Structure 1
Amino acid sequence: MQTAAEITFWHNDGSDILLPVPAEFSFAENYNHLSTATNEALYTLRSGKIYKAIAVGDRDTVVEISDEDGTHLRIVFIEEPDTDSPELREGVARYVHDWFDLGTDLAPFYEMAQNDPLLKQAVESFYGLRNMGIPDLYEAICWGILGQQINLGFAYTLKRRFVENFGRSIVREGETYWLFPTAERIAPLTAADLSAAGMTTGKKCEYLVDTARLIAGGGLTKEQLLQAGSVKQAEKMLINIRGIGPWTAHYVLMRCLRMPDAFPIDDVGLHLSIKHVLGLDAKPSKERILELSAGWTLWESYATFYLWRLLY
């Protein structure tokens, strides 16, 4: 029997799950955004549907996610022997809800952006796009570390190597789906183990292992970061970790913790997008970006995400 919270959060439809979406949501825009990823290892797009492996506790499952009349996401389990499990259904629904950031009311953001010279074009072009997140903290930090100082295409290549060497796979209907390596899986390894698997520089491998050990040992959790009290305090907690600077910290706070004022202001993609929108001859200075973003209070994260979308 569903609880009152479950009824407002998601619904059973036979063996499927129906997840309500806000009015300011477009499945097509989010699907198109996901399709821009090159060499993605953690989801598959086919015929307008998204396929993804999800871990719920000690169980791995694969689901198909599609649009349902623009009002819901339909979540279909693929060859899952026990779809009646309340824990499995709740865990999958919560993961998808978080992944698509369905709990954020974008109406105030759109109202602000319509009068902002930097954001107006982006929100009109991609209305309904959500900040597709990275719910797992270790995965978010790894992606931030892997993406440092390299182009996006190579970052995806490194991510795939990491996933396929150390992650778990699950086969459904003849297709293989991957889950990102857990911190517990990486913690006993060494930087040399990662380097031998074709990963990046030794230093980055050290950072990946060190962070895994910290998270696996309980020294860093999402709850601790959320309880920090502010994005500045959470940033300080993260940059105290070797291999995490301000850009990576804000990326994690933006994509995993959903802190609305997380702002990776030093991001090259953000600079290039602003340069493009304003028709500048050179990338804007940090001081100029602070001036331009003065009206984004508590929407810095979404503003950055939409400006990225203009480029990628």
Structure 2
Amino acid sequence: MLNQKDDCIESITIPYGNHVDYDECLWFLNRNFDDCLHVIHEKGIRKAIKFNNDLLLLEITGDIGCLRATVLVGNVTENIKRQIIEFITEWFDLARDLTPFYKLLEGHRILAYMSKEYYGLRLVGIPDLFEALAWSIIGQQINLSFAYKLKRRLVEQYGDFISYGNTRYYIFPDYSTLAKAKLADLKDMQFSSRKGEYLIELASTFDNNILSKDFLLGLPDMMVRQKVLTDLRGIGIWTANYTLMKCLREPSSIPYGDAGLLNALVNHQIIKEKGDLKKIEHFFTQFVGWESYVVFYLWRSLAIKNN
């Protein structure tokens, strides 16, 4: 764990095209959940990131036609600048043109309102594959509030952090650290024995170079990637599809069985029974190539802003 002071203050511009509302993205990231990996600050967000051994603290704010990343802590090289731009572009999915998606929404009798009400919301992802899979395991079969509590306990115990102002900004633990974690310690944090085992085994899989993001991206299609993931202990179809959506940006990934998704489908009267898989599959045929975004916007519909 690192405790750093300001090394430099540098601002980096990340341009984007149409259909981006940074405030909408920030609100989705907040939603009154206690996420320990970022802090919503004024009109921006502060987040610690790590590139190899370089720890940085960023403050990301919105501007006309671009985001601006101010490096509050950390040494900035041209290579680091490039990685920051790539990270933020991927995190907020800024390179994607949402015009075809909004046309599909506008033509749908029930979901047409989303193109205006949630305009500019990007599918905020989890660029790191290990973090995405670990978070999916943490969230299995428990409510989101408790999942975020478990995540905080894990991160504060095993993750690096940067101190700035009177606040610690944490980074998700790397797999080499969690591979050495003791199951008893995870159980003390209220992880079930099985979840603790899954997390340690997953970390060891990465630590032994059996799995990586580059490896998955090199596979021929989504079905093959899905099979590789579900062959891992603790990774079912929901976890695999959630990870493919949030990390690998699979456009047609649907986390079937997700409680939030099912609730949103019922709320919109798209289905009456949560087990009606045929109706769910038929519904998604109207959004081929944009299924992941539809899921994300349905999740968004469950969170109501307090005006």
Q: Specify the TM-score bucket, using the shorter chain as the normaliser.
A: over 0.9
2:223 matched to 1:193? no
Any stretches of 5+ residues in structure 2 without a counterpart?
1-8
The residue type equivalent to 2:60 in the other structure is I
Distance change >3 Å, CA 119–CA 216, structure 1 → 2? farther
| Alignment-derived partner of residue 4 in structure 2 | none
CA distance in structure 2 between the partners assigned to 1:282 and 1:26 by the alignment: 34
The answer to whether structure 1 residue 278 and structure 2 residue 269 are counterparts is yes
CA distance in 1, matches of 2:26, 2:73: 23
Aligned residue number for residue 162 of structure 1:
154
The residue identity in structure 2 corresponding to 1:77 is: V
TM-score, with length taken from structure 1: 0.91
In the alignment, the residues of structure 2 paired with residue 32 and residue 19 of structure 1 have an alpha-carbon distance, to the nearest angstrom, of 20
Task: Give the Å deviation of 1:217.
Answer: 1.1
How much identity, in percent, do the aligned residues show?
34
In structure 1, the residue corresponding to 2:255 is in which secondary structure?
A: coil
- 8 A contact 1:24–1:127 mirrored in 2: yes
Q: Greater shift after overlay, 25-34 or 227-236?
A: 227-236
1:49 matched residue in structure 2: 44
1:260 correspondence with 2:255: no
Deviation per CA, 1:71-96: give whole Å up to 9, x if none: 0001111143x33x112212222111
Distance across 1 between alignment mates of 2:126 and 2:109 = 29
269, 274, 277: which one aligns with 2:260: 269
- Aligned-partner residue type, residue 68 of structure 2: R
Instruction: Give, in angstroms, the shift of residue 15 of structure 1.
Output: 2.6
Distance 1:126 1:201, change over 3 A: same
- Give distance in 1, aligned partners of 2:109 and 2:203: 42
Q: Whole-Å Cα distance in 1 between the matches of residues 10 and 230 of structure 2? A: 44
1:112-151 aligned at under 5 Å gives the runs: 112-151=104-143
Out of 189, 203, 207, which is 2:198 matched to? 207
2:54 to 59, 64, 80: 59
User: Aligned-pair distance for 1:292?
Assistant: 1.1
SS in 2 for 1:293: helix
Q: CA deviation at 1:118?
A: 4.3
* 1:246 match: 237
1:78 aligned to 63, 67, 72, which one? 72
RMSD over aligned Cα atoms: 1.5
Equivalent residue pairs, number = 295
Aligned residues of 1:187 and 1:216 also touching (Cα < 8 A): yes
Moved more, 301-310 or 223-232: 223-232
- Note if contact 2:10-2:72 (Cα within 8 Å) is conserved in structure 1: no
- What letter is aligned with 1:31? L
2:85 corresponds to 1:90: no
Structure 1: give runs of 5+ residues left out of the alignment. 1-13
Report if the CA contact (8 A) 1:260-1:301 is conserved.
yes
Contact 2:37–2:171 (8 Å) recurs in 1: yes
Q: Distance in 2 between matches of 1:64 and 1:72?
A: 14
- Residue 306 (1) aligns with residue 300 (2): no
Q: Deviations over 1:118-162 (max 9, x none)?
A: 432223210110110001111100110011110110000001001
Given that residues 238 and 255 in structure 2 are in contact (C-alpha distance below 8 angstroms), is that contact kept between their aligned partners in structure 1?
yes
Q: Distance in 2 between matches of 1:86 and 1:63?
A: 16
